[in-house]
Structure 1
Amino acid sequence: MSQHRAAASRDTPGNAARKPGAGRHGAKHRVARRNTPSSTQVVGLTAALAAAAGAVGFSHSSLASPTQANSAVNVAALSMGSGQLSDLTTARIERRQLATRDSSRVELSGADLTKKQAAADRTAKARAAKLDATRALTTKRATALAKAKAAADAAEEKLRTSATRCEMMISGYHITATFGQGGGRWARNHTGTDFAAPIGTPIRSVMKGEVVSAEFAGAYGRQVRVRHEDGTETWYNHMSKFSVSVGETVYAGDQVGAVGVTGNTTGPHLHFEVRPDAGEPIDPMPWLRSHCGLNP
């Protein structure tokens, strides 16, 4: 019996390792056992996959292949995360709606800006057109006014230079002596008309003519003589100053001197004489009325 136990002891798997080649075979067997899933693990994985497949509507009790197992796992994961997917989809939709609203606001803002710009352009064009019209009207009026003024100046110049135009020789006067008047103040009868006025009162040429004399003339004092186109001379006497020179052309109303008391005089006045063809003096009053339409 002891021999049988010893033989049995020698034939046990533990002792088999001592046989030649038994070590390599035993090692391979152990590695195979470690790499092979246990029945418990296989059953658990299968159950999990089956449960996942059942959750997404599959009726399979077992999986035929690893590919089917992976598909089931993916479906189960998608099914288990449907709530998160729904939240994600909702967030994306909200973001798209927000972007659409923002885009609409931008488009509306751009449209409003375009309308406002167009309105501003129309207003600017209307103002520019109104300004142009005002300028054109102003220019037209200025041109017309300039033409009218030029015409008026020309007419005035023509009238001023007319040989027949007449102006009163003096203003602010009163007559103190007439033509032909006699008395102790003159060596002979008075040869003109005296127009008394303050010293310095302007004396003017009665008509257009040429200055033929501007000098001191004895009893006449400072004297200016003007010859007119018909040959008649007018004399201006007793002046305090000369305003013209010999050879100068004067027109009706041009100043030739000023009232004074030079020569044979008892007070400031203008002694005015009219001498046709530079000859003997005549009464100035009828001549002023007939030739000039003046009535001193």
Structure 2
Amino acid sequence: MTVAAAAGGALVAAGQTVAGALGVPGWGGEASVEEAYARLAASAMLPVSTDTRSADTTAPMDASAIGGEQLGTRAASLPDLDRTAKVDVANLTKAARMGAEAARVERAVSSAMSHGAPRAVLYGGEAYVMPTAGRFTSGFGARWGVQHKGIDLAAPIGTPIFALTDGVVEKSGPASGFGMWVVLKHPDGTSTVYGHINRSFVTEGQEVRAGDEIAEVGNRGQSTGPHLHLEVWEPDGTKVDPLPWLSARGLDVTDATGSRDA
């Protein structure tokens, strides 16, 4: 009984100590019930751990923690930044290359039209222009019992004539049947002929660029009215129909209205 009484007293004392620490009213001598319960509530919010070892900052995050499953899902769905960066660089490079090419084409076409050519296109990397602002009146082939080796574009005397594409002046001046002409030799060996001109503005051996004004429409030689007679000669001298030759390069002289159009 003595032992039991002693144990009971010890238990009561221990209970008073714990109650005092936790703020239970009537045991710890705290001022009020409200303050005691407030302390209990605060104590209940504190994390409880029996592991006294220092935290391992290199350990992986425990997915069983609150919100861990969401973190795991997000981590798995993150994009491959290195792969994305490579794709972006490739797309930007392609866009820059396309932009540079578009700018080059624009410069070439604008330069070819800078002297007043009614139309300009780019073919095989080279500029080609409508040779004059005239109306198509006669095609390639038999005409009046003879072979017409070119096409005719009617226009008033003095209408500018432009170099179809880059070349060197091979002939400039009087010519049988044409009255006066200009012949240009181009880098691919093809020649273009501009006949019945009123005046020539170039000399033999001169280099010209596509769209340069080389002459003006006239009515000289065997002509029934002011027009440009245009011929195309292959490198071996064969005279070919200028219509499909021009059409293949994006120029339709049968619709030559004279309007400026890139």
TM-score (norm: length of structure 1): 0.44
Higher relative contact order (CA 8 A, sep 6+): 2
Greater gyration radius: 1
More strand by share: 2
